[in-house]
Amino acid sequence: MKEKMLIDKISYTNPIKNINPGIKFTLSMMTLVFLLYTGSKVVFIFNLILFNLLLLFVVKVKVKDLLKLNFVPALFILTTVISLLLIKADIWTFLLRSFSSIAVVYFLICSTPVIDLDYIFEKLRFPKIFREMFLLIYRYIFLLFDNKEKLQNAQEVRLGYSSFKNGMKSFPMLVVAILKKTYYYNMNSIKAVESRMGKEFIFSHRKYKKIGFEIIFILIIFAINLYLVVKYNA
């Protein structure tokens, strides 16, 4: 959850948040296609370095925050490595492809506020019901975890987790309280829909910077990736 809150904070405070999200989405998706298509370690290393540098010096993610963000994915990747060792697969290709792809995805979500992702969904003609559900689910994730933190802190102040026995009693109470909050938020959402007489949300987007040098940057990255793929996949 802390990683989610960290990503959300970065996405709303980074220097390039006002750049058209379509530009960042195009760059990210284009790069992911190259990473999935090729098996060249040179392509993986190039994009791994490039997008981590973009995160550090353009998006302005702190080194310690970047390490935190990569910690959980790294655990999952390393557990997969164990099974790859048993079948004697190419581990380095797997690792480089995984971490370079993670860097690309983090670039997109750390530089683009969630509300701006709806702009991309609209351009891709996603159904409005999907867009509504996406925004509501994202919002309620934070609300529920915020309530979980408050309830858990209240239990800890009352020594609810001072021993294993107390912890076993407190945890079910915490789960029940969270479920009650979930029901409460659900009922409020239903009332909100009824107050609109079932009408759809009105989606609005803020103004973004005019597209300029970003296009040139994307074309350069595309050309470099294409050159590397053609050269090292031949």
> Out of 13-17, 78-82, 119-123, 181-185, which region has the weakest mean confidence (pLDDT)?
181-185
* H-state helical runs in 38-126: 41-57, 63-86, 91-111, 114-123
Q: Of 97, 182, 123, 138, whose CA–CA distance to 5 is shortest?
A: 138
Output the pLDDT for position 60.
92
94-98, 127-131, 191-195, 212-216 — most confident range: 94-98
pLDDT reading at 85 higher than 90: no
Span 210-228, mean pLDDT?
89
Output the pLDDT for position 190.
66
Span 180-202, mean pLDDT?
67
Span 78-94, mean pLDDT?
79
User: What is the Cα–Cα distance from 25 to 38, expressed in whole angstroms?
Assistant: 20
Is the pTM here over 0.85, yes or no? no
pLDDT reading at 1 higher than 60: no
Angle at 50 between CA 211 and CA 117, to 5 degrees: 45
Q: How confident is the model at residue 199 (pLDDT cuts 50, 70, 90)?
A: low
Share of the chain above pLDDT 70, in %: 90
Span 24-41, mean pLDDT?
92
User: What is the Cα–Cα distance from 54 to 28, expressed in whole angstroms?
Assistant: 12
Q: Which residues contact 201 (CB under 8 A, 6 or more apart)?
A: 128, 131, 132, 135
Q: How confident is the model at residue 113 (pLDDT cuts 50, 70, 90)?
A: confident
Output the pLDDT for position 194.
63
pLDDT reading at 149 higher than 90: no
What is the per-residue pLDDT across 161-175, written as a single tens digit (0 to 9) for each?
A: 778 777 788 888 888
Output the pLDDT for position 164.
78
pLDDT reading at 3 higher than 60: no
Can you tell me whether residue 208 is helix, strand or coil?
Answer: coil
